[in-house]
Amino acid sequence: MSREQRGPNEKLGTVLALAGISNAGLARRVNDLGAQRGLTLRYDKTSVARWVSKGMVPQGAAPHLIAAAIGQKLGRPVPLHEIGLADADPAPEVGLAFPRDVGQAVRSATELYRLDLAGRRAGSGGIWQSLAGSFAVSAYATPASRWLITPADSSVAREANSAEGSGAPLKVGHSDVQKLREAAEDARRWDSKYGGGDWRSSMVPECLRVEAAPLLLGSYSDEVGRALFGASAELTRLAGWMAFDTGQQEAAQRYYIQALRLARAAADVPLGGYVLASMSLQATYRGFGDEGVDLAQAALERNRGLATARTMSFFRLVEARSHAKAGDAQAAGAALKAAEGWLERSREGDNDPSWLGFYSYDRFAADAAECYRDLKAPRQVRRFTEQALSKPTEEFVRSHGLRLVVSAVAELESGNLDAACEQGVRAVEVAGRISSARTTEYVKDLLHRLEPYGDEPRVVELRERARPLLMAPA
């Protein structure tokens, strides 16, 4: 369905020409983005011609998909107003701002929390379906640079007024903050064990809306406020990580940006670095290795002399992942060596942050294996995956599944088809127990690599075992 505007949409025509996209090309891109979110769209070059020459405005998610399609070609976010579709049932560009002012930062974060729930209730897939495919790594440039320039606000004390919320504003104390920290700890545990799509993990956005938002809009001293911003940043980063794990890249990006801003208000430089590391992993996963390096190095730069040895090790490991994705073997090797050195210097009594509890030598070995997988060095992959899989644990089920897939790829590239299929079967079994689009994508990649051996009985068996996983709704 469409509705008519007055006259041609010259803005859309101009941007299409700038991007070098034909009418047929835009229609195809929009249909493809819709399909990624379970939408059946049948736009063609005539549809696009009507949007441009007659000013017809497509309904539902289409305007946002149009913006996303053009943004992918241009390599930057494209707001609806730039293409003349700002009045098309807008989903605001919520969550992408990194305000300088603390008050604006509170409003930006709480707006994101509220809009997420509204989208989930709205039907037709909600806000994140409307924003399908709109991830743009360039949106991280301003947040990263502003955080590097000023990693802490001078004061965050706040006196609220009743007009900002429903009822009298809250007087926030340390006990309120502790509840948020406990919620974050519970969510981390569920996410590691069951995946970002598990219903217990998906309660994090609800916690942000119901618990964190009213507190952020309340009254608090500078001391309590710093702690509140830190706890809210942890929860917001977790919401981003879970969205990332379930394939909602555009939602993850917005959560990460707000988490980084909240970490700055908390004056928690290591936590800000952790958010930047999460951004880096997302950028690397999406194929932006160079940008991933920049984000990881931003995390490192501000944390020199501040973060613990284990924390610095993790940041260097994330940097190595990005160098490997970018194809720079020398830089990846140097970063891995530095990461291992920092890890060896860490001690049991160090004041490591609670959010780093997952990181051990097993995790280092697992990520090192992925680095060498990207660098096409199967011997090194096998060496590190053996170490990574030496202590399987029920606490980190998703990580174990990912490691099994990486191990299977290494066996395949070493010419060991039977061993690859054996590890693949184990990975599929683990993937079936969790809700993680990322793990499913790893399994799909393995099956794609096995296509040249499609008639082999072990490959046929693996493909059949994976069928229910691949057919499950996203």
Number of domains, the chain = 2
Instruction: Please tell me the least confidently modeled range out of 273-287, 336-350, 381-395, 400-414.
Output: 381-395
Residue 120 to residue 72: CA distance in whole angstroms: 25
Q: Tokens 């809210």, residue?
A: 232
Residue 4 has pLDDT above 60, yes or no: no
Sign of the CA dihedral running 122, 124, 127, 128: positive
Calculate Rg over the CA atoms of the chain. 23
- Measured CA to CA, the distance from residue 406 to residue 324 in angstroms comes to 15
Lowest-pLDDT range of 16-20, 147-151, 416-420, 433-437: 433-437
| Mean pLDDT calculated for residue range 130-137 | 62
- Two tokens at 139? 């949106």
User: Which pLDDT value is given to residue 38?
Assistant: 56
Q: Is 444 inside any structural domain?
A: yes
The answer to whether the beta carbons of residues 442 and 430 sit under 8 Å apart is no
What is the domain-level CATH number for residue 427? 1.25.40
How much is the pLDDT for 233?
98
Q: Number of helices and strands (H, E) in the chain? A: 22, 2
Q: What's the pLDDT score for residue 337? A: 98
Beta-bridged to residue 24, according to DSSP, are none
* Domain CATH number, residue 63: 1.10.260
Please state, in angstroms and rounded to a whole number, the distance separating the CA atoms of residues 374 and 369: 9
Range with the largest mean pLDDT of 7-21, 329-343, 418-432: 329-343
For the purposes of burial, counting CB atoms within 10 Å of the CB of 344, is it exposed (0-12), middle (13-18) or buried (19 or more)? exposed
CA–CA dist 332, 338 (Å, integer): 10
Distance (Å, whole) CA 462 – CA 423: 10
pLDDT digits (tens, 9 = 90+) for 313-358: 999 999 999 999 999 999 999 999 999 999 999 998 899 999 999 9
Residue (of 58, 37, 61, 35) closest to 48 by Cα position = 58
Tokens 């991830």 correspond to 135
- Residue 332 forms part of a structural domain: no
What confidence category does residue 179 fall into, taking pLDDT thresholds of 50, 70 and 90?
very high
Mean pLDDT to the nearest integer, 292-318:
96
Contact predicate 445/408, CB 8 Å = no
Show which of 83, 118, 149 is a domain's final residue.
Answer: 83
Determine contact, residues 420/386, Cβ cutoff 8 Å: no
Q: Which amino acid is at 211?
A: E
Band of residue 75 on the pLDDT scale cut at 50, 70, 90: confident
Record the pTM. Answer: 0.79
Q: Which amino acid is at 378?
A: P
Residue 200 lies in a domain: no
The β-bridge partners of 4 are 56
pLDDT > 60? residue 161 = yes
193 has pLDDT over 80: no
* pLDDT over 70 at 166, yes or no: no
* pLDDT on residue 135: 76
The predicted structure's pLDDT at residue 390: 78
pLDDT average, residue stretch 244-252: 87
Can you tell me which residue has the tokens 């606000």?
153
Query: Is 123 a domain residue?
Result: no
pLDDT at residue number 124: 38
Task: Give helix 222-245 / helix 269-285 axis angle, nearest 10°.
Answer: 10
Higher model confidence: residue 114 or residue 232? 232
Q: Where are the alpha helices (H) located in 83-152, listed in sequence order? A: 102-121, 126-130, 141-149
pLDDT score for 417: 95
Q: Range with the lowest mean pLDDT among 130-134, 160-164, 451-455?
A: 130-134
Share of the chain above pLDDT 70, in %: 87
Lowest mean pLDDT among 66-80, 254-268, 357-371: 66-80
Where a domain ends, among 58, 83, 108?
83
Confidence of residue 107 (pLDDT cuts 50, 70, 90): very high
The pLDDT value given to residue 472: 63
The answer as to whether 401 is a domain residue is yes
**Which band of pLDDT confidence, cut at 50, 70 and 90, is reported for residue 421?**
very high
Name the H helices within 201-360: 204-207, 213-216, 222-245, 249-266, 269-285, 289-303, 309-325, 329-345
Whether residue 186 lies inside any domain: the answer is no
Structure tokens at 363: 């995790």
Burial degree of 149 (CB within 10 A; 0-12, 13-18, 19+): exposed
pLDDT for the residue numbered 349: 86
pLDDT of residue 420: 92
Q: How many residues does the chain have?
A: 474
Domain end among 83, 108, 135: 83
Q: Is the pLDDT of residue 15 over 80?
A: yes
DSSP per-residue codes, 243-258: HHHTT-HHHHHHHHHH
The pLDDT-based confidence of 132 (bands split at 50, 70, 90) is very low
- Residue range(s) defining the domain that contains residue 72: 2-83
Is 300 domain-assigned?
no
Q: Per-residue pLDDT averaged across 461-470, rounded?
A: 89
Query: Is residue 253 a contact partner of residue 139, using CB atoms and an 8 Å limit?
Result: yes
Q: Cα torsion at 414, 416, 422, 428 (round to 10°)? A: 40
Query: To which H or E segment does residue 57 belong?
Result: strand 56-58
Stretch among 77-81, 235-239, 328-332 having the lowest mean pLDDT: 77-81
Would 182 be classed as within a structural domain?
A: no
